[in-house]
Chain A
């Protein structure tokens, strides 16, 4: 079984889906000749030609607008936005059209569209290249939001997103784009959208997280062994629709929960998860649910970005607060 990093897993998923379904087309800035700024589409234009791997002008909003039209026609466009910091241009097309076309036309027109974007901080990137604003998208009814955290998941989830009949925002954690390697099956497989993964089972406390924060949670769980604690980690994988059952059954078991996300705290998905636990599992709780998140500030430039991203130390502090309650 090949050992791949996340970028290579993206590439494998795209290649396999393009071979399987000739309706799949890739659109984006520098995705063709250059193979993408992160090389996620490398070799695809050579294999499938410039009618299926399309280098576009620089117009994020226009790419998504045009891709919606292509999806309505019957193609399966996969758009690459180079960095999540440049995704805001597309919000009107996502909210006003992609997300609502199925319901506003009562199912007559649909938008099977995937928008891929690397997200998150931690690679000392320039300004606007470190955003983690998934909550904006999870707030929009009618689209799905997926975040992968391993090479194997990346391939299986991306293939599911491409085959899904509804628009999907697919976020790739660029902090671990190449840092994390793992087995990725050669053969065809999918991982269903809307289903979380239990990264590690435990009985004392549930950490709920996604994307690059899964790695932080794993480091925390290893440290916590020294405190005699057995931590469970839930990787949500899909942020919309949320796998509520996975969160609730974990909290019912452990009685304690901690949410980690890289996005700002206020109005973030952590608040949604805390509210969910409050609604469905309040009486199982032995302590308040805490959140360790990115700060409510603009993502700092590289010299200060470590103050922004949830660190193992910050998570451990919160974990100990919960255990001491």
Chain B
């Protein structure tokens, strides 16, 4: 397993990636932002201001490290738990909040943001991302596509088919698996008999690498290398980020039914934000006053996103009909008219 930072924030100097101080601070800010945004979503749900929400707590290094390694032109195809990756790629937080608040406007991704709307059916975004990267290759473009999914998704046929396709056609794809040890209540060892998830890549004829998913630098380095390889036409890579879902599966789940506190406690000690903070402190890039400032600013940004999302008007009846086809067919117009009549 690739590891660059240990639990105490000590770096392996041989493997330390070349990143400027401001870049390291920016990555830290993204991780803190993801954590605060995640906690805020949880409380919004509890207050009845948001629907069911899928939490990411514990996976900040996996999401931020991988998405930060991408270039402007690259694309991501996220799963429902990838708020952190989507934020790093430039999707404003209010979009993600709006989606979980039950408004499709949240998936009207801005034109200049290379993010596919998050996918709910597990693993189904994998072939779509692969096909997209195949199109990039046919079009002789330079962009690379990263598809995000969890350990549970590796049991789906879509994972197999996407990996197979990418291997056969050598598409510029990075398969990024956030192995968070749990697929709702099913543990990783009941998901597959494979020793690691990364080893599955060899069956498809390309490289897989397992990295410490709570080590921001390891995730960043492995993803960057995979992107460079894809961009050179050398095909796909499977990156397995070995991490942990510290929260329940979603706000509707109670993980106390299937896992014990001591396991969670062990992983809380491995908190990816804490580890990176220690590294930044050792490097002299971060102290308590800067950290306080970052957290205060982050809180304001998140509150601002909540305000924007809540200020977005609710959909009108016509909104559910008019985007079903490019042109609204007669039968939908009829249904819209009937609905509007009933509303008065």
Contact = CB atoms under 8 A, between A and B. Distances in A.
23 contacts: A57-B165, A61-B157, A62-B165, A65-B162, A66-B162, A66-B165, A67-B131, A69-B130, A69-B135, A73-B135, A74-B135, A96-B120, A96-B124, A101-B117, A102-B326, A103-B320, A105-B108, A106-B108, A106-B319, A107-B323, A108-B111, A141-B324, A241-B329
Contacts of A52: 138
B325 A70 contact: no
A106 B331 CA distance: 20
Contacts of B255: none
Nearest to B103: A106
B267 interface: no
Contacts of B331: 241-242, 244
B104 A104 contact: yes
B326 A165 contact: yes
A73 B137 CA distance: 11
Given A75-B138, A244-B331, A65 B104 contact: no
B323 A65 contact: no
Interface residues of B, number: 41
Contacts of A31: none
B250 interface: no
A68 interface: yes
Nearest to B320: A103
A70 B104 contact: no
Contacts of A56: 165
Nearest to A238: B329
Contacts of A194: 329
B132 to A, nearest CB: 4
Contacts of A74: 135, 139
Contacts of A93: 124, 127-128
A45 B43 CA distance: 57
A51 B131 CA distance: 13
B46 to A, nearest CB: 26
B86 to A, nearest CB: 14
Q: Give the interface centre of B120, B131, B134 by most chain A CB atoms within 10 Å.
A: B131
A166 B326 contact: yes
Contact of A142 (B104, B107, B131, B324): B324
A72 B134 CA distance: 12
A166 B327 CA distance: 9
Nearest to B135: A73
B139 A73 contact: yes
B301 interface: no
Contact of B128 (A57, A66, A103, A164): A66
Contacts of B104: 103-106
Contacts of B134: 66, 69-70
Contact of A69 (B111, B133, B157, B161): B133
A110 interface: yes
Contacts of B278: none
A244 B108 CA distance: 33
A64 B127 CA distance: 8
Contacts of B44: none
A241 to B, nearest CB: 4
Contacts of B319: 106
Given A66-B128, A69-B133, A142-B325, A61 B105 contact: no
B80 to A, nearest CB: 13
Given A69-B128, A73-B132, A96-B124, A110 B326 contact: yes
Interface of B is mostly: helix
A92 interface: yes
Contacts of B109: 105, 108-109
Contact of A75 (B127, B133, B135, B330): B135
Name the interface size band of chain A: 35 or more
B8 to A, nearest CB: 42
A64 B126 CA distance: 12
B136 interface: yes
B205 to A, nearest CB: 12
A123 interface: no
Interface in B96-123: 104-105, 107-109, 111, 116-117, 119-121
B74 to A, nearest CB: 13
A109 B131 contact: no
Nearest to A141: B324
B251 interface: no
CB-based closest 9 A-B pairs: A65-B127, A69-B131, A62-B161, A66-B131, A69-B132, A73-B135, A241-B329, A106-B108, A103-B323
B136 to A, nearest CB: 7
A49 B128 CA distance: 23
B6 interface: no
B282 interface: no
A42 interface: no
B168 interface: yes
Interface in B131-170: 131-136, 138-139, 157-158, 161-162, 164-165, 168
Contacts of A107: 108, 323
Contacts of A67: 131
A59 interface: yes
